[in-house]
């Protein structure tokens, strides 16, 4: 037996093929993910409240019992959709911005990525916004999942503002909570103006509003015009 054949034989013993149970588990996870993806697509169009086991069974061409087996309840399905949406949001908005330097560059990257996401949601809808309308006065696990996801994101924006202040890009007395409130307000207004009222130029106005916020709270030396004048 050659060394290479012996190594291959040992490797095959060390890494046995998946058992029948493991393959079934993997298939089950893939099926559940397929259902969640379909549910997210539906929720963007008709809201979380419009989701039903029957509608998903029709979309995925599965039996109602097959869909139900993966979640157990409509509420669990809704929560899974909220978590999936938050993960996609984080992957598109938060994590790419972490490549930007701490301070104002990172805050700008977060807002720019957020705006890119909104540009898509103007057509498809936003789970966080529609969910807030549906569950704002309905205590329970779905509302908790929505509120927790939104608050986690706003906390991330708040940290970026604090870092920008610590880096000297914002005024020492800049109110971080007020800045986050105003930035979040821009996004909410943009959704209303662009998606509901269909007003043209809403994206441009939101970008202008963000620059106005930075001018209000930023140091003069951190403004693009001031930086350009020094060059």
Mean of the pLDDT values across residues 125-154?
A: 95
Q: Where are the domains of the chain?
A: 75-219
Non-local (6+) Cβ contacts of 230 within 8 A are none
Report d(CA 43, CA 49) in Å as an integer: 8
Please give the full DSSP string across 176-216, using - where no structure is assigned: HHHHHHHHHHHHHHHHIIIIIS--TTHHHHHHHHHHHHHHH
3-class secondary structure, 170:
strand
Inter-residue contact 110 to 156 (CB < 8 Å): yes
Given a cut of 70, whether residue 162 has pLDDT beyond it is yes
* Nearest to 36, CA basis, from 75, 85, 92: 85
User: Fold for domain 75-219?
Assistant: Tetracycline Repressor; domain 2 (1.10.357)
Given a cut of 90, whether residue 208 has pLDDT beyond it is yes
In the DSSP assignment, the letter for residue 101 is: P
What local confidence, expressed as pLDDT, does residue 66 receive? 85
Q: Which tokens is 15 given? A: 């890494």
Given a cut of 50, whether residue 12 has pLDDT beyond it is no
pTM exceeds 0.85, yes or no: no
Q: What is the pLDDT of residues 35-84, one digit of tens each?
A: 999 999 999 888 999 898 888 889 888 888 888 888 888 999 999 999 99
Given a cut of 50, whether residue 203 has pLDDT beyond it is yes
What local confidence, expressed as pLDDT, does residue 204 receive? 97
In the DSSP assignment, the letter for residue 218 is: B
Residue whose pair of structure tokens reads 């350009």 in the numeric block: 228
Q: What is the pLDDT of residues 20-30, one digit of tens each?
A: 666 655 676 88
Mean of the pLDDT values across residues 204-212?
A: 97
* Nearest to 87, CA basis, from 39, 158, 149: 149
Non-local (6+) Cβ contacts of 153 within 8 A are 86, 89, 90, 93, 94
Return the percentage of the chain with pLDDT > 70, whole number. 84
């Amino acid at each position: 037996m050659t060394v290479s054949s012996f190594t291959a034989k040992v490797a095959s013993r060390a890494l046995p093929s998946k058992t029948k149970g493991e393959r079934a588990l993997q298939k089950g996870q893939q099926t559940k993910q397929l259902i969640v993806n379909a549910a997210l697509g539906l929720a963007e169009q008709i809201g979380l409240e419009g989701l039903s086991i029957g509608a998903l069974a029709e979309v995925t061409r599965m039996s109602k019992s097959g869909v139900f087996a993966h979640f157990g309840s409509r509420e669990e399905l809704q929560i899974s959709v909220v978590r999936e949406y938050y993960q996609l949001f984080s992957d598109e908005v938060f994590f790419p911005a972490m490549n930007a330097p701490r301070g104002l560059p990172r805050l700008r990257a977060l807002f720019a990525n957020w705006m890119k996401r909104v540009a898509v949601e103007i057509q498809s809808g936003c789970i966080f916004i529609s969910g807030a309308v549906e569950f704002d006065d309905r205590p329970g696990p779905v509302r908790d999942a929505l509120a927790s996801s939104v608050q986690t994101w706003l906390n991330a924006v708040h940290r970026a503002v604090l870092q920008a202040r610590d880096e000297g890009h914002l005024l020492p007395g800049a109110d971080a909570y007020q800045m986050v409130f105003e930035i979040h307000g821009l996004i909410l207004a943009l959704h209303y103006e662009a998606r509901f009222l269909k007003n043209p130029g809403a994206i441009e106005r939101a970008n202008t509003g963000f620059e106005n916020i930075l001018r209000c709270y930023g140091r003069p030396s951190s403004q693009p015009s001031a930086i350009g004048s020094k060059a």
